Structure 1
Amino acid sequence: MDLNLRDIRAFVTVANAGNFTRAAVRLHLSQPALTVQIRRLEETVGARLFDRNSRSVALTQTGRELLPLLQRSLDDMERVLRDARALGEGSSGTVRLACLPTFAASALPDLIQMFRKRVPQAQFQIRDVVASTVNALVRNEEADIGLTGGDTFDAALEVLVEGADRLVVVCPKDHALARKRRVSVSDVAASPLVLTAQGTSVRSVVDAALEQAGCAPDIACEPTYMMTAVAMVRGGLGVTILPATAREVLAERDLVARPIDDPSFVRPIALIKKRGRTLPRVAEDFVALIAKRMK
């Protein structure tokens, strides 16, 4: 017979109370029910734990030796139960999120701060990577949820929320495009372009939009990161196309962003999880918060 948490709690309570009646009251049990639990524990360990008479109860030598051991076990098991309950209720736990760098550097910090006001014990593991890697991390269960770009997903992924990022052209303040309120596709194609590398979600949208418009762009360079693209624009190598929400766009005083007058320059974004997998409660609650921001 295995040790039972209720029987251990009964033993520790009787030992501390020094009386079956007081212990029964503390445990909200009848005295006969408490006696049954003590006897069951004694049968499990194979020894008497208390010497009883009509007026008092005292630990046997075996009981005295077991008390500190079972007290520690009880404390450990109750701590595990509290932690498990907190995880189930979403009052603690870890959100494992893979996301686009644009999201990580713009909306995500505020969302985490907002969430932690409601769930102070929440922890976050953030992987800011390109869209294809976001998908792979969620598929391989290295992340529970992912904020990704593009509109192609395999059957292993489930889309929880959909949204969109409008792309803008970014150029120096003294560039000819900066004088326009809206920029046409032909204007974009006529300028040397600094585009993020092949395989990024922004590049896929830009390539498809330019091809649809029948434009053959002059690509000056293809950095991996948006920050590098902005630095190259600042250095006079051309103009770039980035999401309007990108921190790199908002933080540059010497550069301006102009909308592109073509609906094709929109990057679909989606919040995803692995199909058939149950999210931790804390991750479910964070998904709900992201969903409000994406609407």
Structure 2
Amino acid sequence: MSFHASLGNLSLKQLRAFACVAESRSFTTAAALLNLSQSAVSLLVRELESELGLKLLDRTTRSVRMTEAGAELHPVATRVLQDLGAAVAGSRELADRRRGRVRFACSPLQSALLVPRIIGAFKEHHPHITMVLRDTPGGEIVDLVAKGEVDLAVGVLPVDTAFIHAELLQNDDLLLIYPRSYGWSPRHRATWKDLTDHPFIALGEHNSTRYLVDYHAAQVGVRLTPACEVAFVWTAIGLVEAGQGVSVIPGHARTIVQKFPEVGMLPFESRKIRRPIALLRHRHRTLSPAAAAFAAFLQERFPRNHREY
């Protein structure tokens, strides 16, 4: 005899009452354990027997014993109740943020400079939440959020992206980096002419900084012809250090540039060009409690301007 096909029509209260009576061999004891009246426990067991069309318990004035059918149902009912208990306990842990998983994406630069400290501080408060960090080129971050491959991301504020909800975290600026061998004064004002008069090392065409540079260059009628294109900011800095030209990179890379004594840096069009950095999530997906906790933590800890880190 198998009960698996018919369990779907039964109530958990009925199964719990039957299991408790079967294990205690007493309706009185079961009623006390379940905090129900004895008549309520008896009714639940009778309803279960009626639903199955089987006698599950033999009752006498002194004892209660399982029938053959009851003995077969008992381990099935026990397993269902245990699995449910485990699921409820797990759900409560998720709701209380005692465990969970957060999938988070940001640029390789942010992953190296800022995010490790924020994740470290978050893990101190939530040690059993697992963080999955996708250090992804900026041009791919919005797609990861839109496809549901990550819960949250930090990236440049998208334009006209129907599936993305964005909350501004910071307005970053741009830096012109150049070889110090050029001999420019600290008072030198970086202009578009610096990009056209010297070899221009451009970030890749899908990079958000590259998009901003190209867009604003077109707005002022400047045509940029890169001498070299690279995928990562570190590579651009290295080429500049080698005297191969100039580049425009995100302002929050200042701390990296400072480690290269042969590379100078100047604000670039800072009054006109800003990189709006935002916390991104899918507009139509509910964040898990763990992801919601990390989102709130990130918003609180994220620097409001580049000079904070």
Look up the match of 1:199: 206
Map of 1:180 onto structure 2? 186
Match of 1:77 in 2: 84
Q: Distance in 1 between matches of 2:189 and 2:43?
A: 83
Of 161-170 and 214-223, deviating more is 214-223
- Which residue is 2:132 aligned to? 125
Counterpart pick for 1:285 among 285, 293, 305: 293
Cα deviation digits, residues 190-216 of structure 1 (max 9, x gap): 443322112211112233445556666
For residues 202-241 of structure 1, the aligned pairs below 5 Å read 202-211=209-218, 219-241=226-248
Residues 233-254 of structure 1 show CA distances to partners (whole Å, capped at 9, x for unaligned) of: 2333123332233398268344
The one-character-per-residue Cα deviations of 1:12-52 (angstroms, maximum 9, x if unpaired) are 22233332222222222222222222222222333222222
CA RMSD of aligned residues (A): 3.0
Structure 1 pair 287/22, CA: closer, same or farther in 2 (3 Å)? Answer: same
Q: Mind listing any 5+ residue stretches in structure 1 that lack a counterpart?
A: none
Q: Measure the CA separation in 1 of the matches of 2:178 and 2:15.
A: 71
Instruction: Identify the range of structure 1 (281-290 vs 113-122) with the bigger mean alpha-carbon deviation.
Output: 113-122
Aligned residues: 294
| Map of 2:110 onto structure 1 | 103
SS in 2 for 1:11: helix
TM-score (norm. length: structure 2): 0.80
| Equivalent runs, 1:160-179 vs 2, <5 Å | 160-171=167-178, 176-177=183-184
- What is the distance in 1 between the residues matched to 2:12 and 2:71? 18
Q: 1:105, 1:247 within 8 Å by CA — same for their partners in 2? A: no
Q: Percent identity?
A: 31
User: Do the aligned partners of 1:10 and 1:34 also contact (CA within 8 Å) in 2?
Assistant: yes
Of 58, 66, 75, the match for 1:68 = 75
Match of 1:148 among 148, 152, 155: 155
Separation in 2 of the partners of 1:209 and 1:165?
A: 16
User: What is the SS of the residue equivalent to 2:205?
Assistant: coil
Counterpart code for 1:274: H
**What pairs up with 1:27-106 in 2 under 5 angstroms?**
27-106=34-113
TM-score (norm 1): 0.84
CA distance in 2, matches of 1:250, 1:34: 74
Counterpart code for 2:89: R
Please tell me the residue identity of whatever aligns with 1:289: F
C-alpha separation in 1, matches of 2:265 and 2:65: 84
Q: Secondary structure at the match of 1:120?
A: coil
Structure 2: any 5+ residue segments left out of the alignment?
1-7, 305-309
